[in-house]
Amino acid sequence: MQTHNLGYPRIGAQRELKKACEQYWSGKISYEQLEQTGKNIRLENWKIQKQAGIDIIPCNDFSFYDQVLDMTLTTGAIPERYADIAMRPDLYFAMARGCQEHGIDITAMEMTKWFDTNYHYLVPEFLKNQQFTLNSNKIFNEFAEAKALGINAKPVIIGPVSYLLLGKEKEANFDKIDLVENLLPVYLQILSKLGTQGAEYIQFDEPFLTMALNHKEKTAYEFVYRQIRKKFPDLKFIIATYFGGLQDNLALAVNLPADVLHIDLVRDAGQLENVLKAIPAHLRLSLGIVDGRNIWKNDFQKSLNFIQQAAEALGHERLLLAPSCSLLHTPCDLNLEKSLDAEIRNWLAFARQKIDELVTLKAIATGSTEEKIVSRLQENTRAVESRKTSVRIHNPAVQRRVQSIDQHYSRRKSAFAIRKAEQQRILKLPLFPATTIGSFPQTAEVRSWRAKFKKGLITAAEYDSLLKEETKRVIEWQEQIGLDVLVHGEFERNDMVEYFGERLEGFTFTTNGWVQSYGSRCVKPPVIFGDVHRSRAMTVYWSEYAQSLTTKLVKGMLTGPVTILQWSFVRDDQPRAQTCRQIALAIRDEVADLENAGIKVIQIDEPAIREGLPLRKTDWDAYLHWAVECFRIAASVVKDSTQIHTHMCYSEFNDIIKHIAAMDADVITIECSRSQMELLDAFAAFHYPNDIGPGVYDIHSPRVPSKDEMVALLEKAQAVIPAEQLWVNPDCGLKTRHWPETERALKAMIEAVTAMRAGVAATS
């Protein structure tokens, strides 16, 4: 029996990668210094795993921005618009972030969610007859680094079929999967060089094997792996599947010519029995028994039952133990949490602890009687039992309230058409109302105020005064440039989920529990350990203050229940739907308080609605039923005259558009600029009845679009959506941007709005 890891967090225990990338982008460090930071992180990760006793350690799981982008660069699938910077070291970051310097003005590649996680990847762009060439030595260099440490590491590579399926056709009338024969030679070159370097194991990540595949896609799997095995009979290939079960792809997966098949037993424990029945005699099985996406301590007894079941069928020698998926989705090290509640801390395991869990499980399963191993098993049993029996988990009053939910909780008083007329009578909004999504740049100065307040270096009154001054400044600036619906800027908030979790019961928080969302963007998800409820108002103070500064409308800003659920580490001892309904009731109470305080426009952000979709469409309806219900529970408490907004970003809406409509938000704002308004096609084809704000510029890139560029996007939007339904806004919140680019971009956006209004007036 062996242990192996599918991937380790790459941001560094203290977010060293984030800091280095941002310093490089701002010109504060050289590219060589950035590369050295990356190397230091890789070396530390390998040492941790080696010292823990992991048998097969991964390499090429590190990335400066995104592993899919790495593969795009490696295969030479570089979009033509980057040709002018193809020889510069900044090509990689230009593809990720866009480029607007030295006379170059290029948009970034499209970004979307990595399956049903909160990680974002850069979408490969494919043309008919796309040609691929080996274009990077990253894989080989990192393998050599590990080997220099005495580690014959396992290169982790996105499998060729999954890589193609992650991409998007940029021309009509062809299927990206048809490119597999063009792509395969690059993979063969990679494997040839790794074989020459002395690689023993290669891990191909093929998560699409857990999703519905058509005949052509299944044929592609059979073709590429037959060719790979034929060319390299002596290399050992691990095909890693995760985020779900194999289901109807079981026969395909077990019969691919690999040496090891990895399955995710956290997401689909029930598949083990079927896999054991179907697995051929030559194939070893990797059991994904340690949760790679959550932070709860592994239940050793449950995992040992899986191991025993598999060992009885296959024998110990044919088994590998692993996390369910890459540990990219978990924080680095629980040992860094010095102030976390001791009882709750005893229930948790981060990436470093999960590695230890694997090694311990192997020792127990293979009969070790070492004192430290026996002690770890006893400690684990006590921790698991402690969590089950803790009085801090359950709140009978919250449970009773959830049980009392009926249809009246999730229904607005009137249909949208009636509400819109009433809202227009009261709000008096112009054509193409202009707004932003919520946050404004949180400068180093603003962040320093929060840090000083937390350290006790300034008083609560001083902190409050500083935030009010910044809020007043941003309200006045929005009035000055001509926005129609203002926001207060959210300077008091650390994160759109963490801020609310800190004000809700049933949550706890880490100090260093950071995970990568995209690029240098890291988030610190709250931990939902018990029943959730609201004991006091969370946002009314700042919304009331901002509204008192202006006669214009100021939006109340809330994060929706599904997004709070999705972007937290969620308790796994009850259905997610139950936890989400608890959160929805808490947000409902806040919505009611905002309305009572005189706030006439309330935004309930739900960027994670689509992210939560199960990977199989057959499972969608059940999820969408409770997800939409939870949004409506939160939103439906208001009068017709109160306008409810929601925001969603980086999602495909075509296949869930009827459910988006069923949310019945008065206004939905969506990411659209990177896709050049393609996402609006779904709303147009569906004849979406409510108002829409398609994002007219990409806030995840530092480039500033021109007025004409935004006018062109709005004209595309107006071609498919009536002008009376259109709002104008950026793609997302502006928290991560800098003020100079924000000011220029929003002023250009207002100029675009003015041009659009003039155009409509001229044709009236």
24 within 8 A of 520, measured Cβ to Cβ: no
611 is in an annotated binding site: yes
171 is in an annotated binding site: no
162 is in an annotated binding site: no
Round to whole Å and give the CA distance between 679 and 686.
12
16 is in an annotated binding site: yes
647 is in an annotated binding site: yes
Backbone φ and ψ of 217, nearest 5°: -70, -40
For every residue of 618-676, DSSP letters joined together read GGHHHHHHHHHHHHHHHHTTS-TTSEEEEEE-S---GGGHHHHHHH--SEEEE--TTTT
Q: Which position has the token pair 């691919």?
A: 256
Q: Which position has the token pair 């048809």?
A: 178
437 is in an annotated binding site: yes
Instruction: Note the residue count of the chain.
Output: 764
β-bridge mates for residue 106, sequence order: 99
Torsion (CA) 532, 536, 542, 543 in degrees, nearest 10:
80
15 is in an annotated binding site: yes
Q: Is 700 a catalytic residue?
A: yes
522 is in an annotated binding site: yes
181 is in an annotated binding site: no
Type of residue at 164: L
419 is in an annotated binding site: no
284 is in an annotated binding site: no
Q: Considering 262, 282, 700, 738, which one is annotated as catalytic?
A: 700
Output b/e per residue, 408-433; b: 16+ Cβ within 10 A: ebbebeeebeebbebbeeebebeebb
414 is in an annotated binding site: no
Tell me how far apart the 2 most distant CA atoms of the chain are, in Å: 85
17 is in an annotated binding site: yes
> Secondary structure of 521-576 in the HEC alphabet?
EEECCCEEEEEEEECCCCCHHHHHHHHHCCCCEEEEEEECHHHHHHCCECCCCCCH
Round to whole Å and give the CA distance between 292 and 323.
5
674 is in an annotated binding site: no
Output b/e per residue, 120-136; b: 16+ Cβ within 10 A: bbbbbbbeeebebebbb
Q: How many CB atoms lie within 10 A of CB 189?
A: 15
Round to whole Å and give the CA distance between 694 and 729.
7
State how beta strands 58-59 and 154-158 pair.
Answer: parallel
743 is in an annotated binding site: no
For the chain, the straight-line distance linking the first and the last C-alpha, in angstroms and rounded, comes to 76
435 within 8 A of 487, measured Cβ to Cβ: yes
- The catalytic residue positions are 700
The binding site comprises 15-18, 113, 118, 437-439, 490, 521-522, 567, 605, 611, 647, 649, 671, 732
The binding site for L-methionine comprises 437-439, 490, 605
The binding site for L-homocysteine comprises 437-439, 490, 605
